[in-house]
Amino acid sequence: MAIFVNQNTKVIVQGLTGGQGKYHGLRNKTYGTQVVGGVTPGKGGTDVEGIPVFNTVAEAVAATGADASFIAVPPKAASAAILEAAAAGIRFIVCITEGIPAQDEAKVYNTLVRDFPKTRLLGPNCPGIISPGKCNIGITAGEIAELPSASRKNVGIVSRSGTLTYQALYELKQRGIGVSTCVGIGGDPVPGTNFIDCLREFQADPETDAIIRIGEIGGSAEEEAAEFIKANVTKPMSAYIAGVTAPPGKKMGHAGAIVSGGKGTAQGKMDALRKAGVKVGQNPTEAGTLMAEIIARLESGKSKGRGWRFWRRG
């Protein structure tokens, strides 16, 4: 299995006729994702390398049965594109657009919660999601994701950082460790999907045996997730927090990655995760090494029952 998307997911690309939408939409299709249509107002009836283009999302859904959307449009059009997809019945939306004002993100998020509770938004400003061998929506390179194995233990990944999402995938690939699903939630202040949403799904997913979480400075999402882990997650985890050397008050890359008033520091987040029983690496490679050790214990049968609990909390 996987979380959020799988081999049956049918995807439309809003902005397929644009440069980024075409490039990444075709890469997703080549990977094996069911990219069934595109949407660009005024270009309905055309196609992009055999993928039909529609004027509206509603038309695309009616013609293709799409249940997911990949949004690759400029910031000024992104909010309307998200809400159009939700109104058309799309259940899962991936928006890679960066530079959307935080106020607009908050309005869209709250509109989705109020009017379209069955629609999940991933992003904006995120790399997307990949369930290796099944579905890839967004800008992640499929070749760095190791396929899950029925005969071995598999790992779920959730990350705020796009680049570190890729590194986490590659660290596992180098070690031959399969991935059930990798979710890049993005680093903006108002993400549509957060750590807890993903952790809850990974905990329930029978194909996910362990979890890697990549966080960064700024906000309280990591600390909140640590509390959730302590109360709800029994699967072993490793983690890394980016921004250990970031000076207070300095924004580091993402709009949400800013330390203010002594809160949101890397050390505080690392401490919270350790208290929740998560193995925390000092860099992304160490987080991968810790996960390899976890998988080795799981596969040797030494991490079952009370013995695993003792080791995890150590």
Q: Check whether residue 164 and residue 217 sit in a common domain.
A: yes
**Residue ranges making up the domain that contains 103:** 10-122
Cα gap 155→147, rounded to integer Å: 10
How many independent structural domains does the chain possess? 2
Whole-angstrom Cα distance, residue 204 to residue 16? 34
pLDDT number for residue 263:
55
Local structure of 41: helix, strand or coil? coil
Q: Are residues 27 and 44 in the same domain?
A: yes
**At 221, which amino acid appears?**
A
Q: Are residues 182 and 107 in the same domain?
A: no
d(CA 181, CA 155): 8
CATH code for position 201? 3.40.50.261
pLDDT of residue 251: 54
- State which of 103, 122, 141 marks the end of a domain: 122
Residue 151 lies in a domain: yes
Residue 189 lies in a domain: yes
- Which residues in 78-221 belong to E strands, given as ranges? 92-95, 120-122, 128-131, 135-138, 154-159, 178-184, 210-216
Give yes or no: residues 118 and 136 share one domain.
no
Query: How far is it, in rounded angstroms, from Cα 190 to Cα 255?
Result: 10
Within a domain: 199: yes
Whether residues 138 and 92 fall in one domain: no
Collect the ranges in the chain with pLDDT lower than 70. 245-263, 302-314
79: domain CATH number is 3.40.50.720
Sheet of strand 210-216: strand arrangement = 135-138, 128-131, 178-184, 154-159, 210-216, 237-242, 279-281
Predicted pLDDT at 273 = 95
- The reply to whether 147 and 284 lie within a common domain is yes
In this structure, the answer to whether residues 167 and 284 fall within a common structural domain is yes
Cβ–Cβ contacts within 10 Å for residue 8, how many? 9
Please report which residue ranges of 65-189 form alpha helices under DSSP H: 75-87, 102-115, 162-174
Whether 3 maps to a domain, the answer reads: no
Last residue of a domain, one of 66, 97, 122: 122
User: Do 303 and 156 share a structural domain?
Assistant: yes
pLDDT score at 135? 98
Identify whether 177 is part of a domain: yes
pTM over 0.85: yes
Q: Is residue 1 part of a domain?
A: no
Q: Please tell me whether residues 110 and 195 are part of one structural domain.
A: no
Distance CA 248, CA 139 (A): 31
Q: Are residues 214 and 98 in the same domain?
A: no
pLDDT in tens, 63-77: 999 999 999 999 999
* Residue 97 belongs to a domain: yes
Query: What local confidence, expressed as pLDDT, does residue 306 receive?
Result: 28
pLDDT for position 166? 95
Are residues 211 and 91 part of one domain?
no
Task: Say if 111 falls within a structural domain.
Answer: yes
Residue where one domain finishes, among candidates 122, 146, 167: 122
Which residues are catalytic, by number?
A: 254
Residues 156 and 115 in one domain: no
